[in-house]
Structure 1
Amino acid sequence: MATIVFNTALGRVASLAALPAANDALVLVPLEASGLETDAVLRDKDTLADVVAGSTNEQTIVGRKVLAGVAVTVDDTNDRVSISATNVTWSSPTGNPVGAVVICYDPDTTGGTDADLIPLTKHDLSWTPDGNAFTLTLPGDFYRASSTA
């Protein structure tokens, strides 16, 4: 699974994932395979509204998922920080094929808009929702940053 970190999120992912606000969350957004822009184009998008403003479309039938079990781990031994979350399950998904998922920071899950969501990471995925339950197994660390200085 290829992964990119959006330019707007470089150095911010761990900070945003660890925020304790009552109505904020990390949200997984599925993107349709058809029309999916290249990583080089997507990484320059600053909001989810920007991500879906071009030829990239959200796969809205399966819907977004708020990530649960988000954990930010500081590893002093290896000089890095990693973020993990529990796997995501759709019980009877249908609709157009999915080509990727984007994990966004949503500062207000009760009333924000796509212009408020900050895209953090994109993960390639080849999945055709066929009505059968599907579990997306997130990598042990869907995001990892280290210091080389």
Structure 2
Amino acid sequence: MPDFEFNIAKGRNVELYRRVRLGDPATSALVIVALAVAGVESDAILKDKLTLADVLAGATNEATNTGYNRKILAAADLTDVFPDLANDRTDIDIPDQTYLNVQTAGGAWAKVLLCYRPATASPDADIVPMTAHDFSITPDGSNVVLQIDPSGFYRAV
């Protein structure tokens, strides 16, 4: 489950996930962004950011390691989501992600963000941050496997 949910996405995470899964709009996607340890702002500050551009405009920086890139999850990468009626909740998950041969240069990572991108050409100012997950790792040239949480990246209750 997330370390925190961005205020802009509260009550919308399942909707945004479903929009991507249903292709509404067709080129919408979820974007995974890693944040570097150096300069990362506190959760209390980050959760009030309204866009990915806002997140990256402060002291917080995206990871720059060779081998790191933003992961893009389109409709085909996601599974259908249905409410769990027995437990009165909806869990959503993403597949584990692998970054190949992530190099040390660029420094350690602090968090990963899951964001909603409305279209392929959307600038960071249009990308909505949804959830943040603590992900402390110091790349060493080997593969980095990202598993958000075995029970999913978000639970709506």
With the length of structure 2 as denominator, give the TM-score of the two structures.
Answer: 0.87
Structure 2 unpaired stretches of 5+:
none
Alpha-carbon distance between aligned partners in 2 of 1:136 and 1:127, rounded to the nearest angstrom: 10
Q: Does 1:83 align with 2:97?
A: no
Gaps of 5+ in 1: none
Of residues 50, 56, 63, the one that matches 1:52 is: 56
Q: Which residue is equivalent to 1:103?
A: 114
Q: 2:128 maps to what in 1?
A: 118
| Larger mean Cα displacement after TM superposition, 10-19 or 89-98 | 89-98
Asked whether the 8 Å contact 1:32–1:56 carries over to 2, the reply is yes
2:144 is equivalent to residue 134 of structure 1: yes
Identity between Structure 1 and Structure 2 (%): 44
Cα RMSD of the aligned pairs, angstroms, is: 1.4
Cα distance in 2, alignment partners of residues 142 and 118 from structure 1: 16
Partner Cα separation in structure 1 for residue 125 and residue 43 of structure 2: 20
Higher helix share: 2
**Are residues 1:66 and 2:68 paired?**
no
4+ runs deviating over 2 angstroms: 67-73
Q: Distance in 1 between matches of 2:82 and 2:107?
A: 35
Deviation at 1:71, TM superposition (A): 4.4
What is the letter of the counterpart of residue 7 of structure 2?
Answer: N
How many Å separate the matches in 1 of 2:129 and 2:143?
A: 26
Find the aligned partners of 2:64 and 2:18 in 1 and give their Cα distance: 27
